[in-house]
Structure 1
């Protein structure tokens, strides 16, 4: 703020301020080293004119006669412009004005004066800030300057303001006041464009002229309690907005012009509280962008109506300023708002969440500590969804927040939401394995793992219903979990999985089912229960017959190609055959170890490929059971065949290039890397994940994690919004 104040002070130095009273124009102050006969500006002798012409300032008797009929405007500032230049330009303009025949009103062009595209010379002069060039380009009548617009309906003042031509903006604003209120196709005034471009000097000039036309002090005379409607009306009169409902301050903040924003806040605090069509005030946007200086400037400027606008839910559409601050995770901003307006800490957002709810949901640990320690924020208040703050932290997987909340409120571990769910239920339902592991590995929490919610579902049921295989795996590995518990429908977790699995099941669903099967989860012993018939065949129904046929045909084609290639390789041995007795027809490299490896691997690859082909022929008979069994046998054999073919190729190439050591080493290294990749990709697909044997569960644990990683089930799902 200090830097901005200094800049504005420099801009305002050597300025003249005028106030118009009936019958005279009185000079308020003169700049340092002002001439003896400073310039004054009076309205021209043109009825209803909106422009100013220059005359020499005379003694008081003459000044008393300076006021004329028509529009009278209090004059703004004159910033470091040489008097002789202004006098020359005003004389030139006066010549044009004397010939003016058309009356001009504040609304701009009169009827019959249709807007048309701006002359090129006029546009270039406005763009360059060339006042003389602009006067040269003016048409007669001069009033038609209001009709000169660009394709985007920008006036000459819009153009000058957007390019930061401060002197030209001042000149135009003096002579053609109605241009100040003209809007382009977006509803932007010249002040909007100056704020968008970040031209502080231009913004200052335009604000001076606009503020002269507004009686802001009248706002202070309104009784807040008795004249609420009048207060709101006067508040809105001081604000100029575009089609998006944005004030110039909104636009300055959107375009990251902090100095311009600070200036606008200082000059017109009303801008800070106006709500645009998105339901955001400039104050809210300043907080979102973490503009600390702007926030401090707003908080330090008080009006009798500002607190009402901040707290009124109908106006703010549930957009709490404290919640916006918490979203930025800026502890300094939060401390500043809490210090200046502590009442805002008890405002809820559109979801009925307190600031503590929101901070816990967003993992804002500093904010949670600040609210708990300094304001003793209540942990015992639910939001609109029946969640306590600790449930929000659990839902979003924030272990650090959970730990902090439980340190201050140890009994919060017993909190349940409107569905009777504790933090373990919520974490399992939303797949937050980090929270589940935190609870499982912290015995002092003493949270029952088999607790049921209102529907009789345990955490294991909820994780299964929402297909979170990693959470299911974590819960089933814990010996305290009772895998046989049933919900109010009489279903175990395995029953729930099989009842909800579709014919074209996703791999996430299959992984969840495998985790339950490997843990030895049993089906419920029920009779005449709806869906029981489906449970008996659920594992088979997951394979759609058409999909299985396509899969079988693809594998059959692959096995046939492998058999063909390896068969041909068996008769085209590396090194060729001997043509001399007694070894005629024998391989010349027969006694080489790598040659022997080549032959063995090639032979195994071919035989396995043939067996796969024969096995898959059985699957063509159309029985789903045969298809499943054929795949169980064929896929491992196909993996062996591919592995042996890779080794055979590596051995054969290594053999024929072995005399060039570096090349042979490259072949060997690439072969080993490829073999490792093949095994790491193929073995996880063929392990007995549903086996209940403890040793096999341990062996298959890490491959199972690899499958979860491949299917996108390993990491906790990200919640972009709290709800």
Structure 2
């Protein structure tokens, strides 16, 4: 006990220091609990005898001294490790030990400024908390170094029983104190250094039972904002907690949400937050309480309907349209309408919901004179463009021109959105339209395309020229234009990569030619010859293997010329080598397939499975490698190559739809 006695001597010495320390709490306590310490109206210093219905008073409060709630205590004393350990483990005998050594428990503080009540609340020791509260009730209002009271700590830790005990203490004391002191006895509105109340921390930790308890205890705390401008009501809406939002908005008087909003601090765009949380229940609660929130705008000037359309929340948009369709015709601060927001993000289901409910909405123009198809084309939302151009009621939007005279096709070409070209360039009327600069879509593509090879630009130009060729509007000789040589160093690296690939193909196909499926005869008269020489699938295997090897060798020979450094020779060599290498790469998997068929052809189910997998892979290889080769050639016939490019696009769309269906099945969204 030597250390304890030394600690006791130090405490006694601190008690005899400057008397000004006795006023410390008068300056350090939060402003809303300052005030007179005169408790004569609340029963003086004696214990508060229970009055009225004593059954409703918690037992641990029967010996509470109300005069101690705002008591002034001496200067803080550093908590020893022994005391810290005992309190953390919830040992009630620690209080008896402190009393026996005349150590004032209320003075003890840890290195983080936690009192013994903070520690007991943090570790969820409810019985110890009750005993400390009865002996030192003023610790309930005591902040630690982070500005958190024990109520903050208990709410953050999810200790429901402790929070309920604190609420019972505050309720009991507030009923016995005078009005002035009762207002000071309000830990629910106290904030920590981040501006959070205990209710903030309860909602942040999704401790909803505690949150409902705190909401019922105080009606003002949910509207207080923290340092980030977020109120507890805002956080409850953002969390999508319908019951909690209902509890916050429920009042004993006739005050509506408009009246409550005057008390709401920080962000107030509750309907927008409910949409972001994708909670129809919360949205209904808020809008039923205050229907005018439908017309509220956020900081970016967006209405609720516009915000819901921009994030693609279909159910929320339908909910808002069920209430009123007027919002469809209300533009945002940037001059665009909700239907434009949906088209901009590619939410075609919302676009058509707007058109179905409000047919005139498809004619709405933003501040640039752009309709819904303009916006979809400009942002590369090809699914939306396809659906609009495929519908008889909306296909005429393709000839619409904005303030600069640009059609949706113009905008798609300007932004090199090649996915939308096949859907937008569907008629001569669209292809021949000129903007205010006198340029057609073809003129823009040919003027803006860069001399070096950029896939998106070359792809867009090729698809547009094929659309022109198919319509017969103008004569098209080639789907590509000659590309200027790139940086010599980059060309050399590119050629070396192709050489390496071609050498690998030649090596593997050479080795495969001597590893024939079925093996060799080991006896006369066909000693050393292939066992399955008369099998037709073996013949196809050897044919494809030879073609792959010879094409790769030809590629190597052609690319050797490209090593000489002549730019013209490099371009010519690449135009020959790329198709040869593509042919070799396509022959390899086919040769492998027929080699496997030769070996396991008698197992039908395995044969079918391997054939399907190989067929899918072969198509994938064609549509991945084909455009890369085609678009680098200086001359590409619009008849056959164009059909291949369009087929590639259709294959790409099919894969996209397939992936969307998978997402719909497993994620519930399209």
Q: TM-score range by the shorter chain?
A: 0.7 to 0.9
- Match of residue 428 from structure 1: 377
1:592, CA displacement in angstroms?
5.3
Q: Which has the higher helix share?
A: 2
| Partner residue of 1:451 out of 396, 400, 405 | 400
1:425, CA displacement in angstroms?
0.8
1:356, CA displacement in angstroms?
2.1
Residue 261 of structure 2 is aligned to residue 310 of structure 1:
yes
- Match of residue 551 from structure 1: 494
TM normalised by structure 1 equals 0.71
Contact in 1 for aligned 2:256/2:290 (Cα 8 Å): no
Q: Distance in 2 between matches of 1:430 and 1:125?
A: 64
SS of 1:548's partner is helix
**Which deviates further from its counterpart, 170-179 or 132-141?**
132-141
From the superposition, tell whether residues 665 and 379 of structure 1 become closer, same or farther in structure 2 (CA, over 3 Å).
Answer: closer
Residue 466 of structure 2 is aligned to residue 515 of structure 1:
no
SS of 1:241's partner is coil
From the superposition, tell whether residues 667 and 128 of structure 1 become closer, same or farther in structure 2 (CA, over 3 Å).
Answer: same
TM normalised by structure 2 equals 0.76
From the superposition, tell whether residues 542 and 136 of structure 1 become closer, same or farther in structure 2 (CA, over 3 Å).
Answer: farther
Write out per-residue CA displacement over residues 601-653 of structure 1, whole angstroms, 9 at most, x where no aligned residue: 34323322222122223333434454344333222222333444555566667
Residue 161 of structure 2 is aligned to residue 201 of structure 1:
yes
From the superposition, tell whether residues 557 and 308 of structure 1 become closer, same or farther in structure 2 (CA, over 3 Å).
Answer: same
Residue 428 of structure 2 is aligned to residue 405 of structure 1:
no
From the superposition, tell whether residues 237 and 685 of structure 1 become closer, same or farther in structure 2 (CA, over 3 Å).
Answer: same
Residue 626 of structure 2 is aligned to residue 686 of structure 1:
yes
From the superposition, tell whether residues 217 and 345 of structure 1 become closer, same or farther in structure 2 (CA, over 3 Å).
Answer: farther
Write out per-residue CA displacement over residues 79-101 of structure 1, whole angstroms, 9 at most, x where no aligned residue: xxxxxxxxxxxxxxxxxxxxxxx
- Match of residue 28 from structure 2: none
Residue 363 of structure 2 is aligned to residue 414 of structure 1:
yes
- Match of residue 242 from structure 1: 192
Contact in 2 for aligned 1:309/1:316 (Cα 8 Å): no
- Match of residue 424 from structure 2: 475
Write out per-residue CA displacement over residues 168-222 of structure 1, whole angstroms, 9 at most, x where no aligned residue: 2222122223422333454322111211222222112223445647999979xxx
Write out per-residue CA displacement over residues 500-521 of structure 1, whole angstroms, 9 at most, x where no aligned residue: 5557765444432332232238
5+ residue gaps, structure 2, are 1-39, 471-478, 664-670
- Match of residue 103 from structure 2: 142
Q: Distance in 2 between matches of 1:637 and 1:281?
A: 67
| Partner residue of 2:303 out of 354, 362, 368 | 354
Question: Following superposition of structure 1 onto structure 2, how do residues 57-136 of structure 1 map, counting pairs within 5 Å?
Answer: 72-73=68-69, 106=72, 109-110=74-75, 113=76, 115-116=78-79, 118-120=80-82, 122-136=83-97
Question: Following superposition of structure 1 onto structure 2, how do residues 609-688 of structure 1 map, counting pairs within 5 Å?
Answer: 609-646=552-589, 673-674=613-614, 677-682=617-622, 684-686=624-626
Write out per-residue CA displacement over residues 230-286 of structure 1, whole angstroms, 9 at most, x where no aligned residue: xxx999996111222211111111111212111111111111101112221111111
Contact in 2 for aligned 1:182/1:189 (Cα 8 Å): yes
- Match of residue 214 from structure 2: 264
Q: Distance in 2 between matches of 1:217 and 1:497?
A: 81
Write out per-residue CA displacement over residues 549-589 of structure 1, whole angstroms, 9 at most, x where no aligned residue: 222222223323444554566678775699979x8997776
1:328, CA displacement in angstroms?
2.7
1:153, CA displacement in angstroms?
3.8
| Partner residue of 1:322 out of 271, 276, 282 | 271
From the superposition, tell whether residues 589 and 543 of structure 1 become closer, same or farther in structure 2 (CA, over 3 Å).
Answer: same
Q: Distance in 1 between matches of 2:351 and 2:131?
A: 63
1:22, CA displacement in angstroms?
5.7
From the superposition, tell whether residues 432 and 590 of structure 1 become closer, same or farther in structure 2 (CA, over 3 Å).
Answer: closer
- Match of residue 290 from structure 1: 240
- Match of residue 7 from structure 1: none
Q: Distance in 2 between matches of 1:487 and 1:132?
A: 88
Contact in 2 for aligned 1:606/1:641 (Cα 8 Å): yes
Q: Distance in 2 between matches of 1:398 and 1:480?
A: 28
CA RMSD of aligned residues (A): 4.4
From the superposition, tell whether residues 425 and 484 of structure 1 become closer, same or farther in structure 2 (CA, over 3 Å).
Answer: same
Q: Distance in 2 between matches of 1:362 and 1:272?
A: 27
From the superposition, tell whether residues 147 and 490 of structure 1 become closer, same or farther in structure 2 (CA, over 3 Å).
Answer: farther
Q: Distance in 1 between matches of 2:529 and 2:241?
A: 85
From the superposition, tell whether residues 130 and 448 of structure 1 become closer, same or farther in structure 2 (CA, over 3 Å).
Answer: same
